């Protein structure tokens, strides 16, 4: 009699939907190819609140087309406390969204299956060879976990690919352990290693009798990428034909911006995109993924979707640009892009800020004597934001299509709740995607030739407390959520940007925007590109630039980031203003933010072509 087998993945925030879709699609392909479609279930573990309250009926239908079973799970008991205790270690990862990955502990509750192959949703099997794991591990017992070494610390396993035996006793033991111990990495990988992996027992005596066992799988079952600095490693070339699965670890996922950029992308990202496009084509998905994914969202619900739902909850209308779960908040940007000067003296829009503060003193003094000498200058100023104004109509066009919500026929297990997709007929959709941006340094993998390395099994002992080494497979990157929040204030243009690039519409807009103004801003541009082209931090840059320039009332301090402005000023000095009147004194760059009415006193004297973008 055949064993009850499942391949499972996890979804606790909508921005991983593309991963879940592509993975499910690919797994099905290989199950079919291997003739195992009927013998191995595909199982989506999804948080109850995400499923019931957030995902659209359309998304559920799509999920239903690739997964045979949905398992709705709730947070672990006392998960909040665990997350709290782990927060310090998790901070090392710079991946706060992973706090909820502790919910992977629920995998051992899937006792309706005899064996489960868990795959992170950012994994991609490359061929049906990955299914051999069920054969290789056919004798696995409930105290064992099969996983490949993590490249960040190869004495530990990576928890993105795990084969396990569900068992109620193990499940409760693990959850107790999570309650009582701090995870090495603040998330699931650390604590699962501590629980299962004898190597994490730093006390040699206890190690002798360690009760559970990590069975090390070949790295070819979980080849993590990116592998910066090692991409052309001889080992990679040597083992390439044997790779069964790729795992896109870290902040940057194949569906996020960076994979669309030439500078980091590798062939596996192309493969992922092919699979994803194939999925979309086969399922007739033509709308943008945010429209697929999420219904109206109630911010009061679960913690697990917090990273995305913080954003979702703010959004009244979806932005058209991101392919995947990206949230752009139309609000501020659109409002600010009108002709009304902002009532708030702290400008959010960098260009507006720039044009208003330049030559303030000059214009004030000129005003005193010349009155109408520069009658049109303020027009350009007011139109600073005009490149974005055309987006308002795009936003208005972004109404979620009415998508019929079909019943999801998959069975729900484990605290089933009736899903109420009926109310989802109209999806005012948006998605909360924090753009995960990180480039990992990966160590050269110590690849083994055998598929499995079974370690000596020990018995009966206490669990190791914790080790000092981080299992972090991600390089720290500055936290970017805040900057994402800033990003939400802007709307990306509805261009033909690649779908993922569209997620970062703001970034690209800003870059293009500045390029248009290149003349006179050259010294400024490299900073923008270097700092911003890759990820979300550009928004911080702008804010910083504003703050620094403002705070740096002595001219030197502000120069670093507003040098272009100053240069333009200096360049303008001997030249003529648009009015034709030569400037007679150096502009004063002092910027007194306390002066509440400064906007009304601001003038500039640049030639109009500097503000060409305003016309466009
Ligand atoms: O916002 C999120 C974040 C994660 N996930 C799910 O949780 C998995 C783990 O997150 P992921 O971004 O894939 O983590 P990695 O970058 O792979 O980071 C490493 O560290 C994590 C924390 O220990 C482990 O869960 C991973 O297996 C391990 O590879 C994802 O694949 C998803 O299935 C979500 O649904 N929403
Ligand atoms: Mn992963």
- Give the number of other Cβ atoms within 10 Å of residue 263's Cβ: 8
Mean pLDDT on 580-593: 50
Tell me, using a 6 A CB cutoff, whether residue 194 lines ligand 1: no
What atom of ligand 1 comes closest to residue 434's alpha carbon? 1
Share of residues in the chain with pLDDT > 90 (%):
34
Q: Can you read off the two tokens belonging to residue 532?
A: 């911003």
Tell me, using a 6 A CB cutoff, whether residue 10 lines ligand 1: yes
Ligand with minimal distance to 96 CA: 1
For residue 389, report the distance from its CA to the centre of ligand 2, in Å: 38
pLDDT number for residue 257: 62
Residue 59 to residue 71: CA distance in whole angstroms: 15
Distance of CA 538 to the CA centre of its chain: 15
- Distance set, CA 518 to CA 471, 549, 567 (Å): 44, 20, 13
**pLDDT, mean over the chain:** 62
pLDDT number for residue 32: 98
What atom of ligand 1 comes closest to residue 307's alpha carbon? 1
Residue nearest to atom 26 of ligand 1 (CA): 160
For residue 119, report the distance from its CA to the centre of ligand 2, in Å: 8
What atom of ligand 1 comes closest to residue 161's alpha carbon? 27
Residue 482 to residue 434: CA distance in whole angstroms: 10
Burial 40-67 (b: 16+ CB within 10 A, else e): bbbbbbbbbbbbbbbbbbbbbbbbbebb
For residue 401, report the distance from its CA to the centre of ligand 2, in Å: 32
Tell me, using a 6 A CB cutoff, whether residue 540 lines ligand 1: no
- Verify cis geometry, omega within 30 degrees of 0, for the bond prior to 226: yes
Determine which of 40-44, 211-215, 305-309, 311-315 has the lowest per-residue pLDDT on average.
Answer: 311-315
For 440-584, list the strands marked E by DSSP.
452-453
Question: What are the pLDDT digits (tens) for 257-281?
Answer: 654 555 466 889 889 999 999 999 9
- Please determine, for residue 306, whether its predicted confidence score (pLDDT) is greater than 50: no
Predicted confidence band of residue 204 (pLDDT cuts 50, 70, 90): confident
- Please determine, for residue 331, whether its predicted confidence score (pLDDT) is greater than 50: no
Question: What are the pLDDT digits (tens) for 65-99?
Answer: 999 999 999 988 888 888 888 888 888 878 887 88
For residue 85, report the distance from its CA to the centre of ligand 1, in Å: 19
Residue 542 to residue 524: CA distance in whole angstroms: 11
H helices of 337-480, where? 350-357, 360-370, 377-382, 386-389, 391-396
Determine which of 87-91, 164-168, 178-182, 368-372 has the lowest per-residue pLDDT on average.
Answer: 368-372
Do residues 318 and 307 lie in contact, with contact meaning Cβ atoms separated by under 8 Å?
no
pTM: 0.56
Burial class (CB in 10 A: 0-12, 13-18, 19+), 393: exposed
Residue nearest to atom 20 of ligand 1 (CA): 189
| Cβ-proximal residues to 162 (8 Å cutoff; 6+ apart), any chain | 107, 117, 118, 145, 146, 147, 192
Question: What are the pLDDT digits (tens) for 476-511?
Answer: 333 333 333 333 333 233 333 334 333 333 333 332
Do residues 452 and 220 lie in contact, with contact meaning Cβ atoms separated by under 8 Å?
no
DSSP letters, 93-160, are HT-GGGGGGGGGGGGGG-TTSSEEEEE-TTEEE-SGGGGHHHHHTTT--TTEEEEEEPSSSTTSEEEE
- Give the number of other Cβ atoms within 10 Å of residue 111's Cβ: 16
Helix or strand or coil: residue 70? strand
DSSP letters, 210-240, are -S-EEEEEPGGGSEEE--BT-TT-HHHHHHG
Do residues 391 and 319 lie in contact, with contact meaning Cβ atoms separated by under 8 Å?
no
391 HSE (CA, 13 A, CB side): 29
What atom of ligand 1 comes closest to residue 10's alpha carbon? 33
Tell me, using a 6 A CB cutoff, whether residue 159 lines ligand 1: yes
Q: Which of 261, 311, 279, 45 is nearest to 162 (CA)?
A: 45
Tell me, using a 6 A CB cutoff, whether residue 160 lines ligand 1: yes
Q: Can you read off the two tokens belonging to residue 127?
A: 């061929």
Tell me, using a 6 A CB cutoff, whether residue 98 lines ligand 1: yes
For residue 68, report the distance from its CA to the centre of ligand 2, in Å: 22
Tell me, using a 6 A CB cutoff, whether residue 122 lines ligand 1: yes
For residue 484, report the distance from its CA to the centre of ligand 1, in Å: 19
DSSP letters, 444-477, are PP---SSSEEPPPP----PPP---SS----S---
Determine which of 4-18, 171-185, 456-470 has the lowest per-residue pLDDT on average.
Answer: 456-470
pLDDT number for residue 309: 25
* Between 352 and 79, residue with greater pLDDT: 79
* Whole-number CA gyration radius for the chain: 27
Question: What are the pLDDT digits (tens) for 398-416?
Answer: 333 323 333 233 333 333 3
Q: Which of 7, 71, 122, 308 to mutate to test the pocket of ligand 1 (most atoms within 8 A of CB)?
A: 122
Mean pLDDT on 425-442: 30
- Give the number of other Cβ atoms within 10 Å of residue 576's Cβ: 12
Q: Which of 9, 11, 13, 16 to mutate to test the pocket of ligand 1 (most atoms within 8 A of CB)?
A: 16
pLDDT number for residue 300: 32
486 HSE (CA, 13 A, CB side): 19
Ligand with minimal distance to 161 CA: 1
Tell me, using a 6 A CB cutoff, whether residue 123 lines ligand 1: no
| Cβ-proximal residues to 468 (8 Å cutoff; 6+ apart), any chain | 202
pLDDT number for residue 94: 80
Domains of the chain: 5-282 (3.90.550.10)
Q: Which of 8, 98, 151, 272 to mutate to test the pocket of ligand 1 (most atoms within 8 A of CB)?
A: 98
Q: Can you read off the two tokens belonging to residue 158?
A: 């990576």
Q: Can you read off the two tokens belonging to residue 581?
A: 């009147």
Residue 376 to residue 395: CA distance in whole angstroms: 30
Q: Can you read off the two tokens belonging to residue 224?
A: 């993590």
Question: What are the pLDDT digits (tens) for 558-575?
Answer: 333 333 333 333 333 333
Ligand with minimal distance to 481 CA: 1
Mean pLDDT on 507-526: 32
- Please determine, for residue 103, whether its predicted confidence score (pLDDT) is greater than 80: yes
What atom of ligand 1 comes closest to residue 9's alpha carbon? 33
For residue 213, report the distance from its CA to the centre of ligand 1, in Å: 22
Do residues 96 and 482 lie in contact, with contact meaning Cβ atoms separated by under 8 Å?
no
What atom of ligand 1 comes closest to residue 11's alpha carbon? 35
| Cβ-proximal residues to 186 (8 Å cutoff; 6+ apart), any chain | 86, 87, 88, 89, 90, 91, 92, 93, 98, 99
Residue 560 to residue 27: CA distance in whole angstroms: 51
Q: Which of 160, 182, 219, 481 to mutate to test the pocket of ligand 1 (most atoms within 8 A of CB)?
A: 160
For residue 358, report the distance from its CA to the centre of ligand 1, in Å: 46
Burial class (CB in 10 A: 0-12, 13-18, 19+), 4: middle
Mean pLDDT on 357-361: 41
Q: Can you read off the two tokens belonging to residue 140?
A: 């696995």
Q: Which of 120, 186, 294 to mutate to test the pocket of ligand 1 (most atoms within 8 A of CB)?
A: 120
């Amino acid at each position: 009699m055949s064993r009850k087998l499942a391949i499972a993945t996890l979804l606790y925030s909508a921005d991983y939907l593309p991963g879940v879709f592509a993975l499910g699609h690919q797994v099905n392909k290989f199950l079919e190819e291997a003739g195992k479609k009927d013998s191995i279930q595909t199982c989506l573990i999804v948080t109850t609140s995400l499923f019931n309250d957030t995902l659209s009926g359309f998304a559920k239908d799509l999920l239903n087309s690739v997964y045979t079973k949905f398992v709705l799970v709730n947070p672990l008991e006392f998960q909040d406390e665990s997350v709290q205790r782990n927060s310090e270690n998790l901070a090392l990862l710079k991946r706060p969204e992973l706090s909820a990955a502790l919910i992977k502990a629920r995998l051992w509750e899937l006792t309706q299956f005899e064996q489960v192959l868990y795959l992170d949703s950012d994994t991609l099997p490359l061929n049906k060879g990955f299914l051999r794991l069920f054969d290789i591990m056919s004798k696995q017992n409930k105290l064992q976990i099969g996983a490949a070494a993590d490249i960040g610390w190869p004495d530990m396993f990576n928890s993105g690919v795990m084969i396990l035996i569900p068992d109620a006793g193990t499940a409760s033991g693990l959850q107790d352990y999570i309650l009582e111990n701090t995870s090495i990495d603040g998330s699931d990988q650390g604590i699962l290693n501590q629980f299962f992996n004898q190597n994490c027992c730093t006390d040699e005596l206890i190690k002798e009798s360690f009760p559970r066992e990590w069975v090390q799988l070949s790295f070819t079952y979980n080849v993590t990428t990116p592998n910066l600095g090692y991409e052309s490693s001889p080992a990679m070339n040597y083992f390439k034909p044997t790779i069964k699965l790729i795992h896109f670890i870290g902040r940057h996922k194949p569906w996020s911006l960076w994979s669309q950029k030439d500078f980091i992308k590798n062939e596996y990202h192309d493969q992922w995109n092919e699979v994803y496009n194939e999925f979309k084509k086969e399922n007739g998905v033509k709308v943008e993924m945010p429209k697929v994914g999420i219904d109206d969202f109630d911010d009061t619900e679960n913690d697990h979707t917090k990273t995305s739902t913080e954003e979702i909850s703010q959004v009244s209308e979806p932005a058209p640009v991101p392919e995947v779960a990206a949230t752009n908040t139309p609000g501020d940007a659109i409002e600010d892009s009108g002709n009304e000067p902002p009532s708030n003296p702290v400008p959010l829009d960098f260009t507006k800020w720039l044009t208003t503060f330049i030559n303030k003193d000059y214009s004030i003094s000129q005003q005193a004597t010349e009155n109408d000498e520069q009658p049109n200058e303020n027009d350009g100023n007011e139109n600073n934001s005009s490149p974005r104004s055309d987006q308002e109509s795009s936003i208005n066009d972004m109404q979620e299509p009415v998508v019929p919500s079909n019943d999801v026929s998959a069975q729900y297990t484990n605290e089933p709740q009736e899903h109420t997709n009926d109310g989802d007929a109209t999806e005012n959709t948006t998605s909360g995607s924090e753009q995960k941006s990180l480039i990992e340094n990966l160590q050269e993998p110590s690849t083994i030739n055998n598929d499995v390395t079974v370690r000596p099994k020990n018995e009966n002992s206490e669990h190791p407390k914790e080790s000092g080494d981080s299992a972090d497979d991600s390089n720290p990157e500055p936290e970017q959520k805040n900057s994402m929040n800033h990003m939400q204030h802007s709307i990306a243009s509805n261009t033909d940007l690649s779908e993922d690039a569209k997620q970062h519409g703001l970034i690209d807009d800003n870059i293009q925007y500045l390029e248009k103004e290149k003349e006179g801003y050259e010294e400024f541009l490299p900073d923008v590109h270097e700092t911003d082209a890759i990820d979300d931090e550009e928004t911080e840059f702008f804010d910083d630039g504003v703050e620094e320039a403002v705070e740096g009332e002595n001219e030197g301090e502000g120069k670093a980031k507003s040098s272009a402005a100053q240069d333009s000023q200096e360049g303008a000095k001997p030249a003529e203003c648009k009015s034709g009147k030569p400037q007679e004194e150096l502009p004063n760059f002092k910027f007194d933010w306390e002066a509440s009415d400064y906007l009304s006193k601001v003038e500039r004297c640049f030639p109009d072509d500097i503000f060409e973008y305003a016309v466009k």
